[in-house]
Structure 1
């Protein structure tokens, strides 16, 4: 399966030349030497707004894929033959080290991934129930595509790296090869949009690992934390696991973790297009906005109180007593950075390097004093922030609704399953913009059925009968009737099956239990287990 090209070649050459001639920004290193000593004390803050020239986004929305493709083809843009071959190679290599025959193929690995996708919307208590004969959990698609023992073999030996060459300084080295390959594909196929956001995401995990985090108040409190960057629509372009100091490159961490994370994501975006980046107060600093502006990009982020100590803004205690919807602004003309405080339910501060306060928008809020909803003025930059900041949260919501429910004991399996879920979510996002839109569960089901139906195996036996099957209806003593098995249309002879009690051939059956039984075995089968 061939992957799409980088979205930049899809832009018209005239527009690209226009941006190159309009700005002198180059792909500079993340940290400029002249800014190393820059801090809040050297900014000359004055009340009032700076009228910055706003770059015009004349580039149209593009997706780096041709139209008319199936749901499976969109998913295989990320899990293509190269990725599957890598997973198969390392899985077989690990199986050989455990003295087992490593003969997994790319087709089997694709079926294995499809079963993981299916477990996101068809959940059972234990994964083995997909293969059991119980009618309430048995799944013909799974049973016909892969035997249970074969799935367990791949599941227990699944690897995406060579254990002999793992970088011991990287605590997430076991998933690094797959992460790098997927990040490259996410970037190459990303829809070309102006608004991007950077945020954190959690992968649930309750075991023991040095990178596991506990964040109180989050929907997922325990698990692996990932730094994520993507479009405002929910397409994830970049993932990086948090593992303390060293999560980002050393050049990008000179000004702190938040600065390094955002600048690492900015490095993924092709210059000199004026993208607009949004992030929350975990990342925001005045120096970060300054560096992003020097890249020719725009940035907006909420900022904490200790980041605006030298501004001429009123204190939070004083401003919270003002009328609802009031705001103050101070700016530094040399850097073009402004900080705005707005009084809503609480006082919020936002730092910007290009956006404007005007025009004011109107938002509805409930007033306790008037006992009704009232109209509150909202600055334009806060309206833009609320509109475009939730891209990563949107992706997290899409992933959490149909997250892979099969769990394992190895710490890296939840991360691999998360990568599969994110690839499915990104493929659905591309499909919505390129083809006739469908909802997410339909898109996921069509991927699973396309893979499992095209990989049916030839079965030569009916499998083993479970003695615990139909225990509730088997002994209820109601409406159990003897009937003859159907006649074969070709041979004109009655069909013969193994009796569930004595295991000899019989031509009769129980109608309710739908099991072959001799008449003489009928009573013992329905009275004793």
Structure 2
């Protein structure tokens, strides 16, 4: 599933964001959750897996199958059953997926085999393309207090904290100018470090030149139309950041440790 480019050409000018970094944006709030202990499990699942998500999966699965000269008919309901089987395989691990449909009483899973035929499951599994353009990786959130979920990983820059799974892009950089633009259009704030080749032709000072300058040197360019600022500064190394929320102001000298 490849998204079209959100912006064809950006107009970068030297400067900073106009709005106050501490101001609150007009964020569209999500509707309140009205579920309770009496709610069905499916109602909780639909909070994360909405009909829009299912329709997107169905549409792209059918399109991908057609690109391989295979006619696949699948709807939202069958896609939901398919995803449910994947969830089951997560907490009922078996050496092979086909074991769920085997006739032997010690291995057959009636819940799975009665919900979907094996061949149909494998067809949907074969032509669901979501894994091709996504990368799931680990991220450690620093935490030094006492908590049973805290982990220790030897040899990592952040050794103590919570381990979370993040969805990134295959080339290893989750942040880019188009992503920040999309967040801005739906009234969400976004800030993150970015590689120099992901700033969409921003004419900011080259990192090689900035490395030769004193620590604390910075440069910034702003895309007024999309309310994005690109900031680069010289710290121990050169850091590049994109944001639609925080600019360079106020500038002050950091306290010595």
TM-score by length of 2: 0.48
TM-score by length of 1: 0.26
When Rg is computed on C-alpha atoms for both structures, the one with the higher figure is 1
Structure showing greater relative contact order (alpha-carbon pairs closer than 8 Å, 6 or more residues apart): 2
